Amino acid sequence: MAKLRVGVVSPEREVWTGEADMVVAKTIDGEIGIMPNAAPVLGVLVEGGVLRLKGTDRGDFAAAVHGGFLACSGDEVSILAERAELGEEVDVQRARDALQRAEESQASGESGEEYVARAARARARLRAAGEDV
C-alpha cells in the first residue's frame, strides 16, 4: 500500500518527518483527511487545531498546530505551521494552567481575541496529548 511522505515544520524546527497512511487536519474550510494519491490541495490551518497522523511507523499520534498551511501534491504532504508541538512533548499541567488563566480572564470580563486564541492553543495542546477538554 502506498504511503504519504509527511513533513511537519515550524519556524523553530522540523517537528516530524516520516511516512503515514493518512493525515487529518483542521483548516479554515473544515476538517480534511488526506490519503495517498490525493488530489493536490492547499489549506490554511486554524489556530488551535490538532493534526492527526495515522499509520506511521510509531503508530497513530497527534500534534497541536497553531496556524499555518497544509500543502498536498501526490504522495507528499507538507505542514508549515506557525507553531507546532507533538502530543508527547506537551507539558499537560502547564497547558491546563494556561487554559485556566485564559478562561479566568474571559470570565472576569476581559475581552479580546488574545484570550480566545490562548484558550484555543491550550485546548489543542491538551487534545494532542490525549487529554479530554
Q: In Å, what is the CA distance from 45 to each residue of 4, 66, 120? A: 19, 7, 13
Going residue by residue through the chain (133 aa), what tens digit of pLDDT does each one get? Answer: 789 999 999 999 999 999 999 999 999 999 999 999 999 999 999 999 999 999 999 999 999 999 999 999 989 999 999 999 999 999 999 999 999 998 888 777 666 777 788 899 999 999 999 998 7
Element (H, E) at 112: none
Instruction: State the pTM of this model.
Output: 0.88
CATH of 4-87, one of 3.40.50.2300, 2.60.15.10, 1.10.3720.10, 3.40.50.720: 2.60.15.10
Model pLDDT, residue 109: 67
| DSSP-derived secondary structure for 15-50 | EEEEEESEEEEEETTEEEEE-TTEEEEEEEEPTTEE
Model pLDDT, residue 110: 65
Model pLDDT, residue 130: 95
The domain ranges of the chain are 4-87, 90-128
- Cα separation, 100 vs 96, whole angstroms: 6
Model pLDDT, residue 117: 86
